[in-house]
Amino acid sequence: MSRQIILKHKEIILIIERLAVQVAESNLKSSNIVLIGLNERGYFISKMVLEFLKKYLPNTLIDLRNITVSSEGEVNSTVDILDESHTVVIIDDVLNSGKTAFIAADFCFKKGVSKIETMFLAQREYRNFPIHANFVGVSIATTLRDHVYFDNTQSTDLQVYLS
């Protein structure tokens, strides 16, 4: 299986910082932000975003949570309390069909949050679900057979590649 590297480690770190700045700009008036990482890789990215946001929004309460969505659409979450006082930013590595983000957004919407935004390190140019990406690192035109993958197995050598 051949790999075409799209983003290397330094580029990924810069993109994540840029995305965090965009979240900060969009939420200057928010007093309570909850970052929700989707599954394992989205949570990995959300931890990095949190560190940058602490620098840019030092007086804002920022919480970090995780939602895992199974292939059957079942939600397992560390989100305990969400209400109208919370701004939610759903974070994932790659926006493919939009199914996982849609399920997570629906879960948060039912809790009555005041605002939901989405952030993706990479997005493919097609969707099966009506998900809008508010913050995107890179958009990739692919065929249906291509797979965009974020490799975080070595935290000092992050990569996004096409296979």
Question: Domains of the chain: which residue ranges?
Answer: 4-162
- Strand segments, DSSP code E, in 43-158 are 61-69, 75-77, 87-95, 115-124, 135-140, 148-151
Task: Name beta bridge partners: 77.
Answer: 67
Band (pLDDT 50/70/90 cuts) for residue 134 is very high
Rounded to an integer, what distance in angstroms lies between the CA atom of residue 14 and that of residue 124? Answer: 20
- Nearest 5°: CA angle at 99, between 124 and 37? 85
Supply the pLDDT for residue 127: 67
Q: What is the pLDDT of residues 16-53, one digit of tens each?
A: 999 999 999 999 998 899 999 999 999 999 999 999 99
- Quote the pTM value: 0.92
In CATH terms, the fold of domain 4-162 is Rossmann fold (3.40.50)
H or E segment and range at residue 105: helix 99-109
H or E segment and range at residue 18: helix 9-26
